[in-house]
Amino acid sequence: MPTYKLTVNKKKYEVNADADTPILWVLRDHLNLVGTKYGCGIAQCGACTIHLDGKATRSCVLPVSSIGNKAITTIEGLSEDGTHPLQEAWATHDVPQCGYCQAGQIMTAAALLASNPKPTEEEIVTAMQGNICRCATYNHIKDAILTASRK
């Protein structure tokens, strides 16, 4: 089994895994970073969203062998103490219901704000439309992103 050197949340790791193992399972099963969730496994729901060099990426379909030197950020690494403006806005707007989709929602939103710090409502809806929420928290998500964008 090959060894891969990974940078996750600014820390270096070495993992042994089959080349086609999705990075989602490396994060969860090898590194015990279980904030990133498995939803559909076919890049359709967004629950598994991480950042790869800052870009929102579906980890469920991304083989560990394709990561190379790119830096991975998971929900655990978004801030050191849960004070990223989105995390604070999520609390202010009481966004989560069951919570299952929310790490992926926040990671997609964080990538949006990093590239477009003052998005319009329409831009938010467009950026977030690939992240599914079975509890239909969409309006709260949009309001929280707008709040975070004003900070």
Enumerate binding residues for ligand FES (CB under 6 A).
38-41, 43-48, 58, 60, 96-102, 133-135, 137
Nearer Cβ to ligand FES (30/58): 58
3-state secondary structure of 134: coil
Nearer Cβ to ligand FES (21/137): 137
For 12, the enclosing helix (H) or strand (E) is strand 11-16
Nearer Cβ to ligand FES (31/48): 48
Nearer Cβ to ligand FES (120/129): 129
- Cα end-to-end distance, the chain, whole Å: 46
Cβ 19 to ligand FES shortest distance, Å:
19
Identify whether the C-beta of residue 17 lies closer than 8 Å to the C-beta of residue 26: yes
Cβ 24 to ligand FES shortest distance, Å:
7
Q: What is the chain's alpha carbon radius of gyration, rounded to the nearest angstrom?
A: 15
Cβ 61 to ligand FES shortest distance, Å:
7
Identify whether the C-beta of residue 20 lies closer than 8 Å to the C-beta of residue 65: yes
